[in-house]
Structure 1
Amino acid sequence: MDTSCCAVQCSCAHPHLYHIEFLCAKLDGLPLVSQHLRTLDLRGVSLQGSFLDFSRCPALEDLKMRHCQIDVDKMSSLSLKRLSIIFCRSGLDHRVSVSAPCLVSFTLDSFAGRTPLLESMPTLETAYVELGRACSDFCHYYINRGFCGANVAPCVNCLGYSDESSNTVLLGAICNAKHLELISPLGMMIFARDLKSCPIFNKLSTLLLNAYWCVGPEFHALTCILEHTPVLEKLTLQLVSEEQVHKVEMKGSYSSTERPTGISEHLKLVSVKYNVVDDRILQLLKFMCTFNIRFSFE
């Protein structure tokens, strides 16, 4: 393989290879072959061809990718349990497909290019998905007219999925998670489009959402996700960026004299984190009160 500018670190036990790490490498695109490889770290690596086809690595359980160029059609593994894709990018004009049906933990953070298309992950327990500003799946009309809708000729990014094999890009695959964090800047269309075919999150007990989901006065995204999380126990609404530290936190719960309406009756705690009380916060609190949730300051 072409490994220009490459440093490889291996950790071995007995005669078998358990861990391999590629740094700043350009690989030739051929798939890895190992009966014993368990952990693979890729940092600053250019990936092409069939390198992410792990059908010949039956013991692989942990894959970490950071600052990688991912120009492959598909990433696949039947054994993988933990997958993190952080600050990676793709230059393809179609989505990278991710097939890892045995995942229990998944992280997608600040992917540049078209958002990867996730296939079913029935054993998933935890997922963190942050669509950063380098994501190319944004709505061109969002600032002035909201997301493209029935009365608006859709922009190129909001057109129907001509290259996807399912109705959703992300949510349909991660709907079995028990713990979930969904973060996006305003104007990204993936979650908005996925919500039109929103699955039921039958196992989800804890959910963290950022300000993207809390756009009033209708709060369509927040309403939709709450209506599809029937066993939710804890909801955190983080209305400050990750770079900021929230100054105020309010915690809410159902009124002792009123039953919940339209959302999980198991919901025990709603936490709202923010810096200043403005119209956005007041609208949100008023909206949550429609579900018989009352707040107090911490």
Structure 2
Amino acid sequence: MCPHSHVLPPLQILSGSAPGLDEARIHITHECERKCSVWIRHAIKHKVRLLHVYGSGIEILDSTAMFPSRHLKIIRLHSLELTPGFFRPLNNDCHVLENLELKDCYVCDPPQEISSMSLKVLRIVRGFIDGLLICARNLTNLSIIYPDCEYAIVTRDLSSLVTASVIIDSEVLHQGCDIIVGGHRLLDGLSHATTLELHAPLHELAFERGLKMCPMFSNLTSLALGDWCTAADFYPLLHILHHSPKLKELSVKLKMEECSLCKESVLSSSRGTLSSTGSYPSIERIEISCRKEDPRIGAL
């Protein structure tokens, strides 16, 4: 047993004649890092359904820790370094995995892939992403919150997606670590969602570049946008509206000061192709949240 762990060692937790474990929580510190794979495999062998592994700092977890399972439905990983190839057994050998959460994790290069056919919910909170492709066809709910990215987070073939939320922190952008759009652009994989939330400071290249070849959001009925949609004289907002024929609810939340530089962005050359006039007959409700004196309120 690791002297600094707050949980009993799995061999003690898993003793007994129970047909399977509902939940296993494993806390790793640097001193007991090497034992982690043994503990995880032992829990999976005993048919664990919820596996929660969390580190004290950024402890290393590689693909050898995972074991084929027909019982594991939920995995929560916190404060861990996920080495290359880590997701391969999750994609191929965990046939009932439905919920995966990565919180404060370091996803190492080369770009890794999450493509589990059974996965329905994926939540990524903070952490450092060194390239990631998400192409899980049965995924219904995707959350990417405050990521710190060296290379692209790419979404593709998310045909079952219902709800998607991408929130980017201004502090991350100030460090020069924004989400860089790759060959299969971030917005393409979100085009099937019925509820979409895209929040970012002024201005966000990941979203703006994706708009240049923007897909039709054919199923979208509820949309929430942040400050970035006001760049280039509201070009991002207008562009999404023109590609969302079923939109019923629109929410715009402005938290930052108006940015004069953001009125001219990478999309400025394309502004003339869209008109701010016209009707959007399906929209039933519009909500705008901002300071009372915000100069953008009139244009909105």
Same-fold status (TM-score > 0.5):
yes
Q: Which of 30, 45, 62 matches 2:99?
A: 62
Which residue of the other structure, out of 15, 23, 36, is the alignment partner of 2:71?
36
Structure 2 CA distance for aligned equivalents of residues 240 and 19 of structure 1: 38
Query: How many Å apart are 1:51 and its aligned residue?
Result: 1.1
Counterpart amino acid of residue 110 in structure 1:
Y
Q: Secondary structure at the match of 1:194?
A: helix
1:80 aligns with 2:119: yes
Residue aligning to 1:50:
85
**CA RMSD between the two structures:** 2.7
Are positions 1:214 and 2:245 aligned together? no
Q: Percent identity?
A: 25
* Structure 1 unaligned spans of 5+: 140-156, 242-259, 285-298
Partner of 2:289: 273
Question: 2:244 corresponds to which residue?
Answer: 229
1:4, distance to aligned residue in structure 2 (A): 4.7
Give the letter for the 1:121 counterpart. L
> In the TM superposition, what whole-angstrom CA distance separates every residue of 1:17-74 from its partner, at most 9, and x where no partner exists?
1011111131134362222110000000100121112111111000011000011422
In 2, distance between residues paired with 1:208 and 1:182?
6
CA 1:223 to 1:266, structure 2 compared with 1: closer, same or farther past 3 Å? same
Tell me what 1:108 maps to. Answer: 144
Residues 31 and 50 in structure 1, CA contact (< 8 A), matched pair in contact too:
no
Q: Name the SS for the 1:16 alignment partner.
A: coil
Which amino acid is 1:211 matched to? D
User: What is the Cα deviation at residue 137 of structure 1?
Assistant: 5.4
- The amino acid that maps onto 1:111 is P
- The Cα of 1:214 is off from its aligned counterpart by 1.9
Question: Given the superposition, is the C-alpha separation of residues 263 and 226 from structure 1 closer, same or farther in structure 2, using an over 3 Å criterion?
Answer: farther
The answer to whether the 8 A contact 2:202-2:231 is kept is: no
Unaligned segments of structure 2, at least 5 residues: 1-27, 257-275
Give matches, 1:78-227, under 5 Å. Answer: 78-90=117-129, 92=130, 95-113=131-149, 114-133=151-170, 134-135=172-173, 136=176, 164-166=182-184, 168=185, 170-215=186-231, 218-227=233-242
Aligned to 1:45, the other structure's residue is in SS state strand
Distance in 2 (alpha carbons) for counterparts of 1:263 and 1:70: 44
Shift of 1:97: 1.5
Q: Alpha-carbon deviation of 1:89?
A: 0.7
CA deviation map 1:219-257 (0-9, x unaligned):
11111000000000000011127xxxxxxxxxxxxxxxx
CA contact under 8 A between 1:229 and 1:264: conserved in structure 2? no
Map Cα deviations across residues 113-156 of structure 1 (whole Å, 9 max, x no partner). Answer: 234111210000001101223254559xxxxxxxxxxxxxxxxx
Task: Summarize the Cα distance change of 1:199–1:31 in structure 2 as closer, same or farther, 3 Å threshold.
Answer: farther
Cα distance in 1, alignment partners of residues 294 and 80 from structure 2: 44
> What is the letter of the counterpart of residue 74 of structure 2?
T
> 1:28 and 1:201 mapped to 2: Cα distance?
37
